[in-house]
Amino acid sequence: MDSGVSYVGTRLPQGVVRRGVGADRRPRVMFVSSERPATPGGMERHALRLAAGLHPYASALVFACPGKSSTEELAHEAGLDTIPYELRHTSDLKGAWCLAKAIRRHGIDIVHVHARRDFFPCVLAILMRCLVDFSFRHRPKLVLHCHQISNLARQTALTKLLFTLFADRVYGVSQAVCDRLNQRDLIVPRQAIRLLYNGIDTTRYSLSIEKTVSFRQYYRRLWGIDEDAPVIGTIGRIYDKGQETILDLMPRLLEHVPNLKYVAIGPDKDLDNTIDKFRREVDARKLTNAVIVPGPSRNDVPDMLNAFDCVIQLPQYEAFGLVLIEAGAAGLPVIVGDVGGCREVVQQDVNGLLVPSGDADAIVAAVARLFDPVSGEGERLRLGRAGREITANRFSLDDRILELALDYNSLCRI
């Protein structure tokens, strides 16, 4: 199956030098993430896509992550060099020393951190490297990429000082994240904060009509769904994206949309058994004919989306919502909770419908509207076309990679 991480063919902007052309002054980059999730989520996958796409713009690029982890596995599939990196706690000197040796060995110019728990160890690693070389000149630049809102807790005085001294750049994946970073209780240097939306390779979702129909038929047969049945679907970790809310509302939804099918696609590795737990809930409510919970698999999302008529995501917190732009690229309308970065991806009544995640009446009304016997199909097509255009114009992975490459050059004064 496709890992979802691939090299991206990109145009080279002025000022960015490709490998082997002229003097190689491109930065040497190390991505860092000590997270060891049961299955890589949106944060890990997007970090890997960025790293893979940045290859042409870096004279060296390595990914520091836990050894024998799913993140390392996907990094190797993408052709990335990895460094085994384990972090027991945020002040783990052994983990910091591992990074310091790698920074020195590879001559790293930029350390790009994707999990906030790694920020302090990376500061220690940079200090160790400088002390070993008896020089603080040309210290590596430290970049923090904030993919989440919920873990942006209050900072201690020490953390505040370290952010002030060492955070050369802090990327927020949405304006909602940037606004939170700007709050007084977080104290991130304002001049360091940059908005950097997530992006996807939209070409993976632009299929010919023949392939679209083929995938639609294949997955519907696989899931036991009739060709003409209305289908809504959620993609993401079970219980994180409002799956339980939708399950609660299924009896009401079926009153408005007879024969409605709901597909809940979970992670590609169900190590914590949430899929089995959710299936038991479906069985207990006698909804097995209406609710389909496929086995663990998220690697073929671009293909599976063709079996949906609408994507519905109802998280309580969401920094961005990668699935929302995947749905847009596939030409699908979305019904999404009006929270966090979701409202930056979805424009009300343009490419989808925003609803309060806990408002049962609003959720039922939104589904009923998109599957109205008279106007529903036209509404879905209108919203889906707009979603495809918005995704191509605002959330292209190529554009994000170019943006990041140029900012790296700016940080290193190349």
Residue with more model confidence, 333 or 21: 333
Question: In three state form, how does the secondary structure of the chain look?
Answer: CCCCCCCCCCCCCCCCCCCCCCCCCCCEEEEECCCCCCCCCHHHHHHHHHHHHHHHHCCEEEEEECCCCHHHHHHHHCCCEEEECCCCCCCCHHHHHHHHHHHHHHCCCEEEECCHHHHHHHHHHHHHHHHHCCCCCCCCEEEEEECCCCCCCCCCHHHHHHHHHHEEEEEECCHHHHHHHCCCCCCCCHHHEEECCCCECHHHHCCCHHHHHHHHHHHHHHHCCCCCCCEEEEECCCCCCCHHHHHHHHHHHHHHCCCCEEEEECCCCCCCCHHHHHHHHHHHCCCCCCEECCCCCCCCHHHHHHHCCEEEECCCCCCCCHHHHHHHHCCCCEEEECCCCHHHHCCECCCEEEECCCCHHHHHHHHHHHCCCCCHHHHHHHHHHHHHHHHHHHCEHHHHHHHHHHHHHHHCCC
- The dihedral built from the CA positions of residue 203, 73, 174 and 164, taken in this order, carries a sign that is negative
Confidence of residue 3 (pLDDT cuts 50, 70, 90): very low
Q: What is the pLDDT of residue 233?
A: 97
**Residues 260-311 pLDDT 10s:** 999 999 876 665 688 889 999 999 999 999 999 997 665 688 999 999 999 9
Residue 66: phi and psi, rounded to 5, are -60, 135
Q: What is the pLDDT of residue 241?
A: 93
> Which regions of the chain carry the CATH code 3.40.50.2000?
28-199+396-411, 202-394
Nearest to 225 by CA among 331, 121, 304, 146: 304
Q: What percent of the chain has pLDDT over 90?
A: 65
Q: What percent of the chain has pLDDT over 70?
A: 87
Q: What is the pLDDT of residue 239?
A: 87
Q: Please determine, for residue 389, whether its predicted confidence score (pLDDT) is greater than 60.
A: yes
**Residues 56-106 pLDDT 10s:** 999 999 999 999 888 899 999 999 999 999 998 888 899 999 999 999 999
Q: What is the pLDDT of residue 5?
A: 40
Mean pLDDT for 383-390 is: 97
Q: Please determine, for residue 338, whether its predicted confidence score (pLDDT) is greater than 70.
A: yes
Q: What is the pLDDT of residue 38?
A: 65
Mean pLDDT for 238-253 is: 95
Q: What is the pLDDT of residue 191?
A: 83
**Residues 125-166 pLDDT 10s:** 999 998 887 777 788 999 999 988 765 555 666 766 777 778
Residue with more model confidence, 11 or 184: 184
**Residues 35-46 pLDDT 10s:** 887 666 778 888
Q: Please determine, for residue 372, whether its predicted confidence score (pLDDT) is greater than 70.
A: yes
Q: Please determine, for residue 9, whether its predicted confidence score (pLDDT) is greater than 50.
A: no
CATH second-level architecture of 202-394? 3-Layer(aba) Sandwich (3.40)
Pick the CATH number of 28-199+396-411 from 3.40.50.2000, 3.40.50.2300, 3.30.450.20, 3.30.470.20: 3.40.50.2000
Nearest to 319 by CA among 345, 287, 301: 345
Nearest to 355 by CA among 303, 313, 397, 400: 313
Q: What is the pLDDT of residue 81?
A: 94
Nearest to 30 by CA among 70, 63, 75, 73: 63
Q: What is the pLDDT of residue 19?
A: 38
